């Protein structure tokens, strides 16, 4: 006889496998991953990107991919000599990798931006900061999306 | 017709970091959605946002279809002098919205 506990475990497992199937087909996922790499290279011009100094704040579990609040904070004194020039945010699984390119300067006072994004599918979200000395720093967060943006199109 | 709101303090001390929040009423049609008949709905988004402080651009951003409808953009700038902050949104199909906010810096 199936106890209620066993039933719930089974039902939970079924829900998880359904979520896995909702992911992008591997070849499209690979294409989009390549598009992300290309977009990052366009910004950096091939310069090395180090992790650190950037903090991307985005919920790891996203109920609704149509509107996801995110903020990026870069550790910088924001002086004339040393400041954040730009903050770029990318996502791995959307049809296009770009979310926002923000241009700041020493007059910003603080290297921080906030916006709301659409995230199509579970994957990584990448924040990239360009500093005035020409260096690039990044932070990425792996997010799980339960209701995709563009879900009515079936993720294509 | 374009509805936009900005949140800028009316008064500030010189050197203070101002938190500025902006919202534009726009549905940011991605260009990836289809109608029931299968044809693509053309892209219609805001592509650029900028903030000028007494005529000098202190912040700008390029927006993409991955920005949610009714784009929120929040950033900061240092209060340098009294004057005007002008905000400008431009986008597809000739979209253009502007708003200005006065600030008194003591």
Render pLDDT for A45-72 as a digit per residue (tens, 0 to 9).
Answer: 988 999 989 999 999 999 888 999 999 9
Count of C-beta atoms within a 10 Å radius of residue B39? 8
Confidence check: pLDDT of B1 > 80: no
pLDDT recorded at residue A142 = 94
| Neighbouring residues of B65: CB distance < 8 A, sequence distance ≥ 6 | A94, A95, A96, A118, B28, B30, B31, B32, B43, B45
pLDDT digits (tens, 9 = 90+) for A33-46: 888 988 999 899 98
pLDDT recorded at residue A155 = 42
Q: Kindly indicate the confidence band of residue A148, based on its pLDDT and cuts at 50, 70 and 90.
A: confident
Q: Tell me the chain A residues in contact with residue B68 when contact means C-beta distances shorter than 8 Å.
A: 66-68, 115-118, 149
Confidence check: pLDDT of B39 > 80: yes
Q: Tell me the chain B residues in contact with residue A153 when contact means C-beta distances shorter than 8 Å.
A: 32-34
Residues A5-38: b if buried by 16+ CB within 10 A, e if exposed: eeeeeeeeeeeeeeeeeebbeeeeeeebeebbee
Best to test chain B binding among A39, A85, A102, A106 (most B CBs inside 10 Å): A102
Count of C-beta atoms within a 10 Å radius of residue B8? 21
Q: Tell me the chain A residues in contact with residue B30 when contact means C-beta distances shorter than 8 Å.
A: 95, 118, 150
Vertex A70 angle, CA A66 and A76, to 5° = 160
DSSP-based three-state secondary structure for B79:
coil
Which two tokens mark A57?
């704040």
On whether any CB of chain A is under 8 Å from the CB of B32, the answer is: yes
Count of C-beta atoms within a 10 Å radius of residue B23? 16
Q: Indicate the residue of B21, B64, B80 with minimum beta-carbon distance to A96.
A: B64
Tell me if B80 and A107 make a contact (CB, 8 A cut-off). yes
> What pTM, to 2 d.p., does this model score?
0.85
Reported ipTM: the value is: 0.91
């Amino acid at each position: 006889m199936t106890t209620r506990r066993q039933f719930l475990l089974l039902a939970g497992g079924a829900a998880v496998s359904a979520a896995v199937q909702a992911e992008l087909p591997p070849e499209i996922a690979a294409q989009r991953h390549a598009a992300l790499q290309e977009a990052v290279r366009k910004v950096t011009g091939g310069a090395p990107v180090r992790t650190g100094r950037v903090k991307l704040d985005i919920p790891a579990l996203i109920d609704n991919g149509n509107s996801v609040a995110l903020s990026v904070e870069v550790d910088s004194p924001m002086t004339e000599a040393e400041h954040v020039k730009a903050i770029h945010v990318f996502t791995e699984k959307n049809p296009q990798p770009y979310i926002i390119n923000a241009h700041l300067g020493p007059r910003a006072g603080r290297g921080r931006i906030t916006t709301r994004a659409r995230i199509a599918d579970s994957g990584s979200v990448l924040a990239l900061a360009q500093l005035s000395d020409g260096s690039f720093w990044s932070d990425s967060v792996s997010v799980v999306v339960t209701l995709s943006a563009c879900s009515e199109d079936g993720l294509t | 017709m374009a509805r936009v709101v900005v949140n800028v303090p009316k008064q500030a001390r010189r050197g203070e970091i101002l938190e500025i929040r902006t919202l534009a009423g726009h549905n940011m049609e991605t260009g990836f959605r289809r109608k029931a008949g299968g044809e693509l709905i053309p892209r219609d988004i805001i592509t650029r946002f900028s903030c000028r402080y007494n005529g000098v651009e202190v912040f700008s951003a390029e927006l993409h279809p991955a920005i949610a409808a009714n784009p929120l953009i929040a950033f900061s700038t240092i209060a340098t002098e009294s004057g005007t902050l002008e905000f400008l949104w431009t986008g597809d199909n000739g979209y253009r919205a502007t708003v200005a906010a006065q600030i008194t810096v003591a």
